[in-house]
Each structure stands twice: as structure tokens, then as C-alpha cells.
Amino acid sequence: MFFKKQITWIKLFESLTAANNQIAVGSVCTMQVGKKKLCVAHTTEGFFAVNDKCPHNGASLGNGFCTEQGSVVCPMHRYHFDLKTGRAKSGLGDYVQPYPIEIRNDGVFVGFQETVWNLF
Ligand code: FES
């Protein structure tokens, strides 16, 4: 289809074991993927990725923490963002872009609905 969006998959980790070793359950971190900074979270439900920049005032969500309810919490003013939808659970309708994560035999990948040229 002409307007169908393509997802470009970029490898974040060489394996699930490497991902588990780098980000413990209940933790978040910031990862640079091309020009984009992502906040990657590891919860009991798996791995999630959202834009790292908090929409409220620009803090790095990767310096925050995640909750058992599946949110990342901004370290600056403690806004909560749902890791699946990106919606703020507090604040005035703020939103962070979530990105899909796929775990494959050859690594852990994050997907972007844009061309790879926009990333670099
Ligand atoms: S900068 Fe993130 S909640 Fe204010």
C-alpha cells in the first residue's frame, strides 16, 4: 500500500541475555540510537522503549525509574508515563512516543516508523 508505514528495526542488544545483564528488572537507562535518545525500561512484563526527553521540562527519563504498574517516572518532577501507551498518568496530557521492542534469536530490536536515514 502506498501510505503504509514501514518499521525499521535497529538492534539494541546482541541477545536477551545481554539485555538482561545490562538493564535489571525494575530499571531504566538511556540509549542513543542514531540521533535519537531512548529511555529503555525493563519491567516484569519485558522491555519497553520511549523517547528519553520528558515532554514536561526536558529531563532525561532514563535517569528516572520504573514502577511495578508499568510506568517510567521522570526524575525531575515525578510525572509518570505509561510505558505501553506513552500517556502521562499525571500532568496535563503530556505524552512520550513509545517504540515497539522485539526479542528475536539474533538480538533485541527497537522499531521506528520512519526511514533509517531519519535516524542518522
Ligand atoms: S521534567 Fe519531567 S516531569 Fe517535569
- Would you tell me how many other CB atoms lie within 10 Å of the CB of residue 39? 27
How far apart CA 91 and CA 94 sit, in angstroms, is: 6
Q: Which amino acid is at 53?
A: K
Answer yes or no: are the C-beta atoms of 119 and 36 closer than 8 Å: yes
How far apart CA 30 and CA 92 sit, in angstroms, is: 24
Cβ–ligand 1 contact at 79 (below 6 Å): yes
Q: 94 CA distance to ligand 1 centroid (A)? A: 10
Please give the number of the atom of ligand 1 that sits closest to the Cα of 59.
1
Q: Which domains does the chain have, with CATH numbers?
A: 8-118 (2.102.10.10)
Q: pLDDT exceeding 90 applies to what percent of the chain? A: 79
CA atoms within 13 A on the CB side of 120: 5
Q: pLDDT exceeding 70 applies to what percent of the chain? A: 89
Query: For residue 117, what pLDDT is reported?
Result: 57
Please give the number of the atom of ligand 1 that sits closest to the Cα of 57.
1
Query: For residue 55, what pLDDT is reported?
Result: 94
pLDDT tens, position by position, 75-118:
999 999 999 999 998 766 889 999 999 999 999 999 998 655 55
The residue whose C-alpha atom lies closest to atom 1 belonging to ligand 1 is 57
* φ/ψ (deg, to 5) at 101: -120, 135
Sheet holding 65-66, edge to edge: 65-66, 71-73, 80-82
DSSP secondary structure letter of residue 69:
T
- Confidence band, pLDDT 50/70/90 cuts, at residue 56: very high
